[in-house]
Structure 1
Amino acid sequence: MTIKPNFDANATGGGKDLGNLPEWDLSDLYSGEDAPELKRDLDWLETACADFARDYEGKLAELDAAGLLDCVLRNERISTVAGRIMSFAGLRYYQQTTDASRAKFLSDMQEKITNFTTPLVFFTLELNRLDDGVLDAHFAANADLARYKPVFDRIRAMKPYQLSDELEKFLHDLGVVGDAWEKLFDETIAGLEFTVDGETLNIEGTLNLLTEQDRATREAAARELADVFADNIKTFARVHNTQAKEKEIVDRWRGMPTPQTGRHLSNDVEPEVVEALREAVVAAYPKLSHRYYELKRKWLGLDKMQVWDRNAPLPMEDTRIVDWASAETTVMEAYNAFDPRMGEITAPFFSRGWIDAAVKPGKAPGAFAHPTVTEVHPYVMLNYLGKPRDVMTLAHELGHGVHQVLAAGQGEMLSSTPLTLAETASVFGEMLTFRKLLDNAETPEQRKVLLAGKVEDMINTVVRQIAFYDFECKLHAARRGGELTPDDINALWMSVQAESLGPAFEFMEGYETFWAYIPHFVHSPFYVYAYAFGDGLVNALYSVYAEGDAGFEDKYFEMLKAGGSKHHKELLAPFGLDASDPKFWDKGLDMISGLIDELEAMES
């Protein structure tokens, strides 16, 4: 088990004088590395895993419904304790990835828990050998056990790809080695230094300069990013080659038909639904990104846009810095206006040390919300630097937090939401905050800037992430033919960029290396389509809300409370939506297109 940081797709920031930025108080997990409670839990976990294997290995088929429920509950308790330990170790590490003692502690915990839990590998393997009829009879006989049917269904979806017990244990043990490549990536990224206009910055601060008003500053940052990535490109290429090859070997042994199959299974989504999403987005490139960036090119007064202009502020944009207190007020007002229950859930994040907001040396870049375990609470990480878009990132990550708090009632095994639905509350929280800001706009210029910012975020979330997905598909397919040089990977990256961004752009020399810093490619292959899935789903959902759907708020809370206990079809049915209908995606994309229509109308 390890934390896979859910880095936000659009995390950016900038500025100073932000007020009192909160830091995590991790004592709700453990008071420190030497906490007696931590030692107690490690000792308990070692014994509990051994006892579980002794009591159940080779015996699942003999259990009645009540016995199988006891088995499941014991397994769930083990997951909770292990998850608590790994959450503490992982969160401390992401606060300061360059701290050798924190890295060692994370590695040590990872190794211990891998060793403790190796005897449990039999559990899912034996479950998959049970006859469907036997399980159905158990579910019929015991309602408490039947509640876990979605978990059983997801486990048994892997049944066709299951290896022998011995090989599964071997792969479980080997997981620690794969994680080492992820840590190499994280530590390399966190340790990079960039010098722009005489100032030495980390990657977060340098990427932030791409959103500066001054074009020369943006260009200097882009060129420095390219130079530093080029200096380290062999390391990044080695990480990607190794990770992709490891995945190819495991997929081949399992008989997975495509590199994407494992992700689709874990997301509980049908491949044809993802393909329908991808096709809808690619077909919409001309009416979305191509059209918007042509507008932006004119606003910026350029013959051609360069990559450092993609996230540039508009000429009329207010360059004000949003302090932390103002950001908190904005998001809380938007959440409370939708439903006071949202505000009640969100308030403790600000007051109890559940957010770590400041940019600090060695801190992981980006933003995420980590749910920890259902008996504690989530923690949100930001790199807050005071840009208006940082307020949207705060709204996004707090949406995740609300979702995780509500879903915790499902318990450890049912609370976790498939990635395709994990972005629902986060993107909806962003939309609420955006609409609140739009309603408060005092001038046409303010409205234009807000609309353009939202369109850009949506393009980054939908168009850019589908382009990322296509890049990954090409990367994994190419790696199956042999080792990829940095130039090979660069060429794959560039093959999707012009198509997705459109003819308004030119690409500077060096941009071909910008695949190197995207954490999703390393931590969670094919994760990225979940952003587009979530944005499209929420756009469709928000249009139902905007149309005045009766009882929407209650249905929305019920959907979030369901966590991972229901399939997307079942969750969306109360709203009259169906993601397996290709027209569903057009509904979401039309919302983005409609915002661009409004921007075009403001030009006439």
Structure 2
Amino acid sequence: MQLSNLRPPHRDTAGRPQGGNGGNDGSGALPAWDLADLYAGPADPALEADLARADGEARAFAEAHSGKLATLSGDRLAEAIATYERIEEVLGRVMSFASLTFAGDAQDAANGRFYQTMQERVTAISSHTLFFTLELNKLEEAALEKKLSGSKALARYRPFLRDLRVFRPHQLSDEVERLLHEKEVTGRAAWNRLFDETIAAMEVKVEEETLNVSGALNKLSDGDRKVREAAAKGVSAAFGEKARLFTLITNTLAKDKEIIDGWRQYPRPGSSRNRANMVEDEVVDALVSAVVASFPSLSHRYYAMKAKWLGLPKLQHWDRNAPLPDEDDSEIPWEAARERVLKAYSGFSPELGRIGARFFDKPWIDAALRPGKASGAFAHPTVPSAHPYLLLNYHGKSRDVMTLAHELGHGVHQILAAEQGYLMSGTPLTLAETASVFGEMLTFRALLDAETDPKRRRAMLAGKVEDMLNTVVRQIAFYRFETLLHDARRKGELSREEIGALWMQVQTESLGPAFEFTPDYEIYWSYIPHFVHTPFYVYAYAFGDCLVNALYGVFQNGGVPGFQEKYLELLRAGGTLRHKDLLAPFGLDASDPAFWHMGLNVIAGFIDELERTDGQ
């Protein structure tokens, strides 16, 4: 199976309120990244030189090794993997640069052309090395184990080989694998680009103001309910006009997935994602079942309180992220946000704080607000020989500070894991959210502990509950929506109305009776990028949040000596260890159904505290 030449960024746009990019909001000078550590620009001669060298090395690699892996000794196979890794990292650097350039301004047609051209060239080059992972998977277990046991150099790559061979039962013939690989640029990747460029170019009318999509979504957390309602109707109208296109994209990609899953003999639509996440279907089922069962005790209970706090008999969908009456909506300058996050990180671990500070000291963060920029937030690991980049849209709100803490966690994780090398530094999505959610928790706890005013503490606690509900309940609702949609698509193409009905079904069951959904909410499924870019990604947020809640509980209880050192080792492991091995030093086991209830009970405990202080 060909490993992706481009590690996808950890997109964090699905759960939390969206940050827009419609212009500077007065928060002070906001940083923009400098991609020169990858390449000076699209015309950089080093870029063309890297592509030419990678092409030559890939062809030579195929000539030297295709059809011969079974005859190689363990040491020689290790050398071959090292060469393959070097080629892949060059291609990963190219695609990281192209992807980040496109994310910086997707409205610029030149950026779109550059991104597509790089995808096509990288795909053509990597087609020469495609044989390698396919042939590795053809090695018999006994023969491969003999090579591993006889070579220390090859044994280093045991985690890479272990994870690669998870896909062995689903591997197709070499010819079919190559066809699928080469057609990706005109298949799923092309539909992804169409979605991104369409979203980037859309305009949303909010009262007398014309905004881009993310700017309009940001208004859904405005303190003025009339502004929120106007923004909601504007978003509905804008996406309603594009409904036919988004319905086509969704139907096409779902059918495409069904066809490929059928050929690969995956038992259900989410199985391929679970394999990539190195997690069993049953573990995901246990998580989903636990969260769904907790809807009444978590989201239903909390939003009933929120409706009372806002003085509303029923909440509308534009009230979900409304600020609370006691919430401090004063602007938080960028420097203050930096100080708060780094102080929390350093308070837990000076090393964590030092690594985090590098992102601010160097131009590795793009938080500036400008048209055409990708919405939401993400962290992109790029390649171990470079460093990660963070994208945010910073509006100076308290939730933006939490987003910064989240993305910085990803970045620190990626820095620490880089020592594992290109093939083994990447973590499964289920574990990729560990450091980010943990960073949020550190920052929140530090701010909460420093607050002495009861009303402000309650508002902070409520804000944290909302973030956790967005991360856990909302993401599992998204996962259920995807599951229902892909199952329904197998019976035939779905209309806009049918997709909307599935969306309303999961929103109603997850958010509860406190809400009265207006019909215009039926189109809101269409702005979620995860459904297009990374199907069935979203449960990883809930996995990460519940995992971190349990992990942080162990830290608070002080039951594990040297917790900080063990935590940093967990991050350094990258993709070399599975969740069982990573959590074992902390006495945790994600395959135990009780594990998920530990995480969910943290949220329930926060809501209990809010109920006790209700009316004070």
Partner Cα separation in structure 2 for residue 78 and residue 299 of structure 1:
57
TM-score by length of 1: 0.99
The answer for the alignment partner of 2:390 in structure 1 is: 380
Q: Contact conserved, 1:569 with 1:578, CA < 8 A, in 2?
A: yes
Which digits, 9 at most, give the CA deviation of each residue in 1:164-183, with x for residues without a partner?
11000000001101201000
Aligned counterpart, 2:571: 560
User: Is 1:441 matched with 2:445?
Assistant: no
Q: Which amino acid aligns with 1:463?
A: V
1:101 aligns with 2:113: no
Structure 2 SS opposite 1:200: strand
Displacement of 1:261 in angstroms is 1.1
8 Å contact from structure 1 (residues 293, 501) kept in 2: yes
Gaps of 5+ in 2: none
Question: Which of 79, 85, 100 is residue 94 of structure 2 equivalent to?
Answer: 85
Instruction: Name the aligned partner's letter for residue 594 of structure 1.
Output: G
Deviation at 1:504, TM superposition (A): 0.3
What amino acid sits opposite 2:51 in the alignment? Answer: L
Q: 2:140 aligns with which of 125, 131, 149?
A: 131
Residues 13, 389 of structure 1: 8 Å contact kept: no
Equivalence for 2:602: 591
Does 2:46 align with 1:42? no
Residue 508 of structure 2 aligns with which residue?
498
Question: Is the CA contact (8 Å cut-off) linking 2:18 and 2:375 kept in structure 1?
Answer: no
Q: Which residue of 2 aligns with 1:209?
A: 219
Select the residue among 30, 43, 61 that pairs with 2:39. Answer: 30
Q: CA RMSD in A?
A: 1.0
Structure 2 residue 86 is the aligned partner of structure 1 residue 73 = no
- Give distance in 1, aligned partners of 2:19 and 2:373: 14
Alignment-derived partner of residue 587 in structure 2:
576
1:349 paired to 2:355: no
What's 1:186 paired with?
196
Alignment correspondent of 1:328: 338
Shift of the 11–56 alpha-carbon distance from structure 1 to 2, 3 Å rule, reads: farther
Q: 1:6: Cα distance to partner?
A: 2.4
Which residue matches 1:6? 10
Shift of 1:5: 3.6
Report the residue type matching 1:588 in the other structure. Answer: G
Scaled by the length of structure 2, what TM-score is found?
0.97
Structure 1 range deviating more: 6-15 or 220-229: 6-15
Give aligned pairs, total.
604
- Equivalent residue letter for 1:466: I
2:292 to 262, 282, 301: 282
CA–CA distance in structure 1, aligned partners of residues 8 and 433 of structure 2: 15
Which residue, out of 62, 67, 86, partners 1:58?
67
User: Kindly tell me: are residues 406 and 599 of structure 1, through their superposed partners in 2, closer, same or farther at Cα, counting changes over 3 Å?
Assistant: same
Q: State the partner residue of 1:152.
A: 161
Identity %: 56
In the alignment, is residue 601 of structure 1 matched against residue 612 of structure 2? yes
1:37 partner letter: A
Counterpart in the other structure of 1:298: 308
Aligned mates of 1:318, 1:167 — CA distance in 2? 57
Distance 2:38 2:329 in 1: 39
Of 12-21 and 408-417, more deviation after overlay is shown by 12-21
Out of 527-536 and 346-355, give the one that drifted further. 346-355
Three-state SS of the structure 1 residue aligned to 2:279 is coil
Structure-1 separation of matches of 2:265 and 2:7: 27
SS of the residue 1:438 aligns to? helix
**Matches of 1:11 and 1:126 in 2, distance apart?**
45
Deviation at 1:4, TM superposition (A): 3.0
Matched, 1:462 2:472: yes
Greater CA drift, 317-326 or 262-271 = 317-326
Task: Give the equivalent residue in structure 1 for 2:267.
Answer: 257
How far residue 12 of structure 1 moved from its aligned partner, in angstroms, is 3.2
One-letter amino acid matched to 1:215: R
Q: 1:175 aligns with which of 172, 184, 187?
A: 184
- Give, as a single letter, the amino acid of the residue that structure 1 aligns with 2:153: D
User: What secondary structure, in the 3-state scheme, does the structure 2 residue paired with 1:474 have?
Assistant: helix
- Which of 527, 531, 544 aligns to 1:521? It is 531
For 2:243 and 2:451, locate their aligned partners in 1 and report how far apart those are by CA, in whole Å.
44
Q: Is this contact kept in 1: 2:9–2:381, CA < 8 A?
A: no
CA positional deviation for 1:589: 0.2
Match of 2:238 in 1: 228
Query: What secondary structure does 2:424 align onto?
Result: helix
1:412 equivalent in alignment to 2:418: no
Correspondence 1:165 to 2:174: yes
> Could you tell me how far apart the structure 2 residues matched to 1:425 and 1:11 are?
20
CA distance in 2 between counterparts of 1:441 and 1:16 reads: 26
- How far the C-alpha of 1:11 sits from its partner, in A, is 4.8
- One-letter amino acid matched to 1:98: Q
Distance 1:216 1:144 in 2: 64
CA distance in 1, matches of 2:35, 2:138: 41
1:364 equivalenced with 2:374 (yes/no):
yes
CA contact (8 A) 2:413 2:571 kept: yes
What amino acid is the match of 2:50? D
Q: From 236, 240, 243, give the equivalent of 2:250.
A: 240
Aligned mates of 1:12, 1:336 — CA distance in 2? 28
Q: Tell me which amino acid in the other structure corresponds to 2:609.
A: E
1:13 Cα offset (Å): 3.9
Give the Cα–Cα distance (whole angstroms) in 2 for the partners of residues 394 and 329 of structure 1: 11
Tell me if the contact between 1:370 and 1:378 (Cα under 8 Å) persists in the aligned partners: yes
8 Å Cα contact 2:39/2:47 also seen in 1: yes
Separation in structure 2 between the aligned mates of residue 105 and residue 205 of structure 1, nearest angstrom = 26
Partner residue in 1 for 2:556: 546
Q: Distance in 2 between matches of 1:2 and 1:510?
A: 37
SS at 2:373 equivalent: coil
Matching residue's letter, 2:11: F
* Superposition deviation, residue 329 in structure 1: 0.6
Letter in 1 for 2:612: A
The one-letter code of the counterpart of 2:97 is F
1:3 CA displacement: 5.4
Shift of 1:530: 0.3
Give the Cα–Cα distance (whole angstroms) in 1 for the partners of residues 200 and 610 of structure 2: 38
Structure 1 residue matching 2:382: 3-state secondary structure? coil
Say whether the 8 Å CA contact 2:316–2:517 is kept in structure 1.
yes
SS of the residue corresponding to residue 588 of structure 2 reads coil
In structure 1, distance between residues paired with 2:452 and 2:266: 55
Cα pair 1:448 1:599 within 8 Å, conserved:
yes
Secondary structure, in 3 states, of the residue corresponding to 1:369? strand
CA distance in 1, matches of 2:204, 2:11: 21
Contact preservation (8 Å) 1:4, 1:523: no
Alpha-carbon distance in structure 1 between the residues aligned to 2:454 and 2:26: 29
